Structure 1
Amino acid sequence: MEYTLEKYRRHGNTFATSVLGDDDIFTAETENIKTILAVKFKQFDLGETRRRTFHPLLGDGIFAADGPQWEHSRTLLRPSFTRTQIAATDLHERHIQRLISRIPRDGSTVDLQELFFNLFLFGESVESLRLGSSAGSSSFAHHFNVAQDEIAFSMVIAPFDQLIFRPRFRESVREARGYVGNFVKKAIEYRHSLDAEKHAGDTTDSQSRYVFLEELAKETDNPSDITDQILNILLAGRDTTASLLSMVFYNLARRPDIWDLLRSEVATLDGKCPSFEELKQLKYLSWVINESKFNPV
């Protein structure tokens, strides 16, 4: 990161480099980023290198696709990101309580980041925060991390990555996709069982909770398609959220004055699970989170 920052300091907010015939443009210019991601989004694509290096793990998911494939992914995912689902804070409560239960009460040192990275579940739940959780969930996290590291390495050495035999990468992709595939299979079977019940005249709503994976299974029967989307969403949501939470608590541990102010604001909830609207009213909490975003940036 320091190397890249030095490049920006020396050459400005936008510059080009060429290494072994590979031309790259770097930009930190706000207007350029806005143009690429919003104003003229359809005029840009991911590029062959990213599509090729991402594909083994992420398939044709939304972060590894362009054009019609990207549109298909967006259509598939959109119903799962309605305001109703995002605002259902009670759905997260038991997982938050499980995370809290893993924090020592004796004041001993704890690696919060490891807990934050395990705070992501598939619905039936990989129960990755439960004491004595299955080796499967731990193995998935390991292989998912290894596969991401290997993809980053591929991006750096491209196009020469195609010349290297990488059994570690292949194994991690196979294990990560296989693990998710098991949950996908169960979600599709569950959806079929609900369809059969409705066909038989049983209109009872047997699903009292929202499960992202099961919602995707309502949109398509293609297990590979669902696996692609799940892994893409995990890639986008897991590391970013866990890193942000880590920075928040890193800062709070060093600023007891801010910790006290934040506790005072949260105390107005009287210990109950906040609604989405109540969360929006916690202004100081919002400020703390926003300020913590500056650390990694």
Structure 2
Amino acid sequence: MVLLQLLAWILLGILLPLLSFLFLTKLSTPRTPPPTSTPTLPRSFPIFGVFFSAIANRKRHIEWITDILRAAPSATYIVRKGFARPEVVTASPEVVQYILKTNFQNFGKGIHFYTTMHELLGDGIFNVDGEPWKFQRQVASHEFNTKSLRNFVENVVDTEVFDRLIPIISSAAKTGTVLVLQDILQRFAFDNICNIAFGYDPAYLLPSFPTTKLADAFEESVKISTDRLMSLFPVIWRIKKLLNIGSEKRLRMAASEVQEFARKLVREKKQELNEKSSLNSYDLLSRFSSSNQLDEDYVTDIVISFILAGRDTTSSALTSYFWLLFKHPHVESEVVKEIEGKSEALVYDEVKDMVYTHASLCESMRLYPPVWQDVKGVSNDDVLPGGIAVKKGMRMTYHPYAMGRSEKIWGPDAAEFKPERWLEKDESTKKWRFVAIRDAYAYPVFQAGPRICLGREMAFLQMKRVVAAILRQFKVVPMMEEGAELELDLQLTLKYVGGLPVKIMERV
């Protein structure tokens, strides 16, 4: 019986793509239709729902969802794909507030996200709900106080910037070497998160650009896990997992590599704690490792979650930021002028006071949010603001990327890169003053409500320090054809195909 069921699933996995292909050849819609100024809702068929539209737009998935949410009157829409569970997508601030705050308990990570991401994230903070999530957040929150943030900027970040990042940037300027910016920034962020959270320096950002199994394994794990999450045929990856073949075999091996690295950190930290009665630097890993109630696997999962958060989000944000500065020289000029008004040492308080730079980073992440979508699970039947009913077991996804391009939220100039929208001039001092013109539910780049990002302030401090150090001396010039745009690589965080190759020019 089990064998027959397995064969049936395999047959289904083969027939469904074939039927989809045959059906699509009869559709007049091009494979990757261009975005339109007046988007319409996709055509929905009995049983199949919008499945064929999803297939036709698979190369522009994020733009397709953005078009749907622009066309939906309430900026909320139920995507029915026939072979997967219905998914509610939204770009409505009211709905975002409802799911992230008002009825927070009904919209957790959910069983779908948990099982899909479990090989990589296990029971880490980004993959759990309830008491496990509360405990991890409570312990982690101690690492994000003012004292820790000041130490982060003045020691960890500055060391990485001036001892590693700037020498590499400077050398590239002298030799004309093309750097892959996304890779450089990921290495930088990886060293930083390991230092501040685990008291460990992987020395990943070196002039030799060391290649490690860990880096490759982490990339593979994230990519395959994301493909699982976005799959139009979830049954296929489940069959491959059961048979341990293809991408599922690679995921198992890659995740095992990541877990072994994290487990090694945990063991070394426990040994360090056992040998010393007190540590001068009580990092995040020390806090978790000192608890005798937590087993090694659990702490290992926590480590992996924080590596993911620290490595990929800031590097994603900074990659798109330097791209936008290049496209908008007047903004770059304002940022440089602000940097030149600060001391070269740029102490902690000066970093915090970089108002225009802060606004330009906010604006960049509005258009290119590192976490471009956030998937929740519906625990119980509910009715969203606007009247859409959701059922237990559905997926509920809000889209910061679509929200950042919403004219309903940002006005008719929503597509423009305008840091000034976050600023107003102080008439007495003639200086810029930052104004949070939208609340966290209209700008959920760092989530909102009880799960709002603990590392928000740390991320801004790190990004501003990098921007100041680079732009004071250098200009970053993307090596792309004129008129080309960033090609998005949709992973758990927003990445860019090719990683944005750049040349570095001395600023004159």
After TM superposition, the score normalised by the length of structure 2 is 0.53
Superposed CA offset, 1:136-172 (max 9, x none): xx32121111111111122223354221132101000
Q: Which residue of 1 aligns with 2:221?
A: 147
Superposed CA offset, 1:13-51 (max 9, x none): 111122215111111110111121122212222221111
Aligned ranges for residues 17-166 of structure 1 at < 5 Å? 17-19=79-81, 20-88=83-151, 89-91=153-155, 92-97=157-162, 98-103=164-169, 104-106=172-174, 107-119=176-188, 120-121=190-191, 122-123=194-195, 124-132=200-208, 135=211, 138-155=212-229, 156=231, 157-164=233-240, 165=244, 166=248
In the TM superposition, residue 79 of structure 1 has moved relative to its aligned partner by: 1.9
CA–CA distance in structure 1, aligned partners of residues 201 and 216 of structure 2: 17
Aligned ranges for residues 103-252 of structure 1 at < 5 Å? 103=169, 104-106=172-174, 107-119=176-188, 120-121=190-191, 122-123=194-195, 124-132=200-208, 135=211, 138-155=212-229, 156=231, 157-164=233-240, 165=244, 166-195=248-277, 207=280, 209=281, 211-219=283-291, 222-252=295-325
Task: Judge conservation of contact 1:117–1:238 (CA < 8 Å) in 2.
Answer: yes
Superposed CA offset, 1:59-109 (max 9, x none): 111111111222222233222222321232112111112112211122443
Relative distance call for 1:139 and 1:273 in structure 2 (3 A) is farther
Secondary structure of the 2:366 match is coil
| Larger relative strand fraction | 2
Q: Write the letter of the residue equivalent to 2:259.
A: R
CA–CA distance in structure 1, aligned partners of residues 72 and 328 of structure 2: 36
CA–CA distance in structure 1, aligned partners of residues 270 and 332 of structure 2: 45
Match of 1:260 among 320, 328, 333: 333
Superposed CA offset, 1:114-141 (max 9, x none): 1111122323211110233654xx3212
Q: Write the letter of the residue equivalent to 2:167.
A: S
CA–CA distance in structure 2, aligned partners of residues 252 and 108 of structure 1: 20
Relative distance call for 1:152 and 1:188 in structure 2 (3 A) is same
Secondary structure of the 2:290 match is helix
CA–CA distance in structure 2, aligned partners of residues 111 and 21 of structure 1: 37
CA–CA distance in structure 1, aligned partners of residues 116 and 187 of structure 2: 25
After TM superposition, the score normalised by the length of structure 1 is 0.87
Secondary structure of the 1:26 match is strand
In the TM superposition, residue 3 of structure 1 has moved relative to its aligned partner by: 1.6
* Structure ID, larger Rg: 2
Q: Write the letter of the residue equivalent to 1:5.
A: T
Calculate percent identity across the aligned residue pairs.
22
Task: Judge conservation of contact 2:140–2:284 (CA < 8 Å) in 1.
Answer: no
Aligned length: 284
CA–CA distance in structure 2, aligned partners of residues 140 and 213 of structure 1: 19
Unmatched runs of 5 consecutive residues or more in structure 1: 199-205
In the TM superposition, residue 231 of structure 1 has moved relative to its aligned partner by: 1.2
